Structure 1
Amino acid sequence: MTNDKKLINSIIPLELYEPDYGSSLTKTIIGLEHLRVKKLSGSAPPYIFFQLKNIFQMFESLGSARIEGNRTTLAEFVEKVIEIPNKKTNDEKIQEIFNIDNAIEFIEKNISIGGKIDRAHISEIHKILVNKLTPPPRGEGSNYPGNFRQINVIIQKSKHIPPDQVHIQSYMDELVKFINQQADPQHDLLIAALSHHRMAWIHPFDNGNGRAVRMFTYAMLIKQGFQVKNGRILNPTAIFCMDRDKYYEMLSLADSGERIKTLQWCEYVLNGLKTEMEKIDRLLDKDYLVKSILLPSIQFSLEHENITHREFEILRGVINNKRMAVKSADIKKIIREKSAVQISRIIKKLKEKGMLMSLKESGRTYTISFSNNYLLRGVVNMLEKNDFIPKSLNKN
């Protein structure tokens, strides 16, 4: 009886609240609107940018898993990425992170600007997230992959009791309709923040709800025009994993359904998103990227004996090149090697180590490669030093 009363009290309407004109939330929304329509014309070449994007996707995946209690640190995960680039592992803690990575890839391939997010998308995202994981109570998988729960659940350390399983379908139908409504563009970001809370409130799956909700939010941002294919890096989970307790506190605030508290939740989400996007956009500036991230990262690799001094000189030459790409003749000048045969051997070795890659298949113009080899350690170290990565990712 007590539980029924709590359940009735927890039912709240799904409503698009308007922030007050001139409020700090309104100003944040306007700032994000500028970022959404801003044409990104950074000087970092795309073949460098997309490697950075892959690294931030890794942070997004790890951060989302750690919010759920996965104890894998960033340093540990970097080593796993280097060891197993094919993502095949028997370690379920690592598999959980790889699954999130795969879900992001699915979203980026299947969600388009202005397109619909439907039940099939949500189902597939959940299925990917729990793939190869042991179902509860022993693991982070699901007894109903891709399907709504057929049991009632409780949320640890939360006063909120999710709706009875018989109501999930109708609540999710309402949510899907809400996110696909023809709304004024100025309301898009509020819809994203409100939908994040609503899906967490419904808790539609038997397990993996937190992961599914954060991937759902990632999909919403792409739908709303924060397009990653044209030079944007999104890392929304950084907002939540920076302070896990604060995240849950703000989620609980919105459980009341009260306008003021719900808008406080929206402001928390959108402020964090704006800060993250403004910060990450700095990486599109080639000069900043070279001086603050890439050159210090190969120096780090040299000091930790991940590369030889000659390899360091070649990689430094690539990074300092105007195009951040070189041909064999350029390498010849960098290391003052006269033998064409020797230059070919050096290039071959660096390609085998994954530290140089051809810009085109079988091409003879090369750029630095750092997203899945020992150079990754240095790049991640410098991103962390420059506050692009939440320090919480390296805490046990």
Structure 2
Amino acid sequence: MATDSELIIRAFELERLRGNFGVTATTPPEFLVSLHTLFQVLMSVVSARIEGNRTTIYEAIRAISEPDPSEGQREVDNIQKAMSFIDQMDPEGPLTHAIVRELHRISVDNLTREGDPNPGKYRGVDVEISKADHLPPSHLQVHAEMSDWLDFANRSLPTSQHMLHVAIAHHRFLWIHPFRNGNGRVSRLLSYAMLRRHGFVSPIGLRAVNPTAVFGNDRDGYYAALAAADNLTNQGTVEWCTFFVRGIHTDLERLSKLQDFDFVQNSLVGPAIDRLVASGGASLSEAYALRIAMQKILVRAGDLQPAFPGTASQRSIAIRGLLEKNLLAQERPGGRTYHLNLLGGRLGPLLVRQLDDLGYLPHILKDDAG
């Protein structure tokens, strides 16, 4: 009963958080887009890490500007591509067999260790799940089971049941185990798609919450809670749903803070700039310029005069230095308006370290930030 009560309380609290999301947001869309990209990278690394991939956050961020051909990075890239595929979908449209198979195809594309012999196709053989008591249904039943799963996933339900809907669908997908490999990655992608369909998006259409962070916070707890639900009893299902809802609640509480631009400047980006100076990645005058860009969002050369006094030519040279370090970026190619490049140069990894200090980094990535 206590577990059941926690489930109900957290489910209702989640609805309050969702209702408030974006209502009083002061963080400019430009910053939200950059933070969205950063969290997309983080969650892709988490999803791959759950499967045993050892690609670090910093390697993944560096690969944004310096392509990495390794298989580990390809797996992370594939997950990001699949997440982008979902972001481009109509959030109110139904999930289909074609969408599920396409997410699988993208996820395992060009992979060996974590690939699948039949990308984008349901398994044609019976399988066993390593270190699990549950035996998935015969391959002869997979298509019918997935049709039933899609009927369930596409149901229109009251708002109060949305989170339980996603949690149960996530477990049931893994219970079916429709592919030979890649089921974990696809299940997490589908959970994100369902959350998006249920309205868990920011005011500018970017993801507000990603269930992958929940699983990355407690990988062992994730597998244990899933296993508890494998017998399809009410008790096991409640245990799994409580784990899922508890994690989403915690994650949305943290993400809600990113709507507050004062918090973003003073607790996240500002301290990252301080770390940049301390590490020798920027001079004090360059840091001053970055802070001006942080506050104004878009700047021209004249806006940076307090940081770079002197002639216009000297200021142009200083700005060019920030562009070469990937700390500033042009609003458009050849333009003379600039913005802070949150993922460029050495600032991106330092933002990650700051996120870790703030408790935003899933536990599974803790070793990366050491």
Residue in structure 1 matching 2:144, options 156, 159, 170:
170
User: 1:268 & 1:261 partners in 2: Cα distance?
Assistant: 11
Which residue identity lines up with residue 189 of structure 2 in the other structure? M
Task: Give me the TM-score of the superposition, normalised by structure 2.
Answer: 0.93
Q: C-alpha deviations, 1:242-297, integer Å up to 9, x for none? A: 11111000000111111122022111101110110111110221111111111111
Which residue identity lines up with residue 138 of structure 2 in the other structure? D
Task: Give me the TM-score of the superposition, normalised by structure 1.
Answer: 0.87
Please tell me whether the aligned partners of residues 192 and 217 of structure 1 are also in contact (alpha carbons under 8 angstroms): yes
User: 1:341 & 1:156 partners in 2: Cα distance?
Assistant: 64
User: 2:206 & 2:222 partners in 1: Cα distance?
Assistant: 28
Please tell me whether the aligned partners of residues 46 and 365 of structure 2 are also in contact (alpha carbons under 8 angstroms): yes
- Residue of structure 1 equivalent to 2:88: 109
Residue in structure 2 matching 1:335, options 290, 308, 332:
308
Q: Alignment identity in percent? A: 33
User: 1:111 & 1:272 partners in 2: Cα distance?
Assistant: 26
- Residue of structure 1 equivalent to 2:326: 354
Q: Does 1:149 align with 2:127?
A: no
Gaps of 5+ in 1: 1-18
User: 1:367 & 1:293 partners in 2: Cα distance?
Assistant: 17
Q: C-alpha deviations, 1:120-150, integer Å up to 9, x for none? A: 111111011001101xxxx100111010011
1:18-167 equivalences in 2 (<5 Å)? 23-40=5-22, 41-74=24-57, 78-82=58-62, 84-85=63-64, 88-112=67-91, 114-134=92-112, 139-167=113-141
Q: C-alpha deviations, 1:210-237, integer Å up to 9, x for none? A: 1111011011101111124446532321
User: 1:160 & 1:367 partners in 2: Cα distance?
Assistant: 52
Which residue identity lines up with residue 390 of structure 1 in the other structure? P
- Residue of structure 2 equivalent to 1:251: 226
- Residue of structure 2 equivalent to 1:375: 347
Residue in structure 1 matching 2:247, options 239, 250, 272:
272
User: 2:50 & 2:363 partners in 1: Cα distance?
Assistant: 13
Please tell me whether the aligned partners of residues 42 and 284 of structure 1 are also in contact (alpha carbons under 8 angstroms): yes
User: 2:35 & 2:305 partners in 1: Cα distance?
Assistant: 28
Q: C-alpha deviations, 1:177-232, integer Å up to 9, x for none? A: 11112322322221110000000001100101111110110111011111244465
Which residue identity lines up with residue 79 of structure 2 in the other structure? I
- Residue of structure 2 equivalent to 1:221: 195
User: 1:272 & 1:391 partners in 2: Cα distance?
Assistant: 12
Please tell me whether the aligned partners of residues 111 and 222 of structure 1 are also in contact (alpha carbons under 8 angstroms): no
Deviation, 1:324, is 3.4
Please tell me whether the aligned partners of residues 309 and 315 of structure 2 are also in contact (alpha carbons under 8 angstroms): no
Q: Does 1:200 align with 2:183?
A: no
User: 1:103 & 1:329 partners in 2: Cα distance?
Assistant: 41
Which residue identity lines up with residue 306 of structure 2 in the other structure? K
1:307 partner SS: coil
Which residue identity lines up with residue 70 of structure 1 in the other structure? N
2:329 partner SS: strand
Which residue identity lines up with residue 334 of structure 1 in the other structure? A
Deviation, 1:29, is 1.6
1:123 partner SS: helix
Which residue identity lines up with residue 165 of structure 2 in the other structure? I
- Residue of structure 2 equivalent to 1:10: none
User: 2:226 & 2:127 partners in 1: Cα distance?
Assistant: 17
1:147 partner SS: coil
Which residue identity lines up with residue 71 of structure 1 in the other structure? R
Please tell me whether the aligned partners of residues 87 and 98 of structure 1 are also in contact (alpha carbons under 8 angstroms): no
What is the RMSD computed on CA atoms of the aligned residues? Answer: 2.1
Gaps of 5+ in 2: none
Q: Does 1:317 align with 2:297?
A: no
Which residue identity lines up with residue 52 of structure 1 in the other structure? L
2:64 partner SS: coil
Q: C-alpha deviations, 1:290-345, integer Å up to 9, x for none? A: 111111111111222222333222112323x3x333321121122322x1122222
Please tell me whether the aligned partners of residues 383 and 389 of structure 1 are also in contact (alpha carbons under 8 angstroms): yes
1:85 partner SS: helix
Which residue identity lines up with residue 96 of structure 1 in the other structure? E
1:357 partner SS: strand
Please tell me whether the aligned partners of residues 45 and 60 of structure 2 are also in contact (alpha carbons under 8 angstroms): no
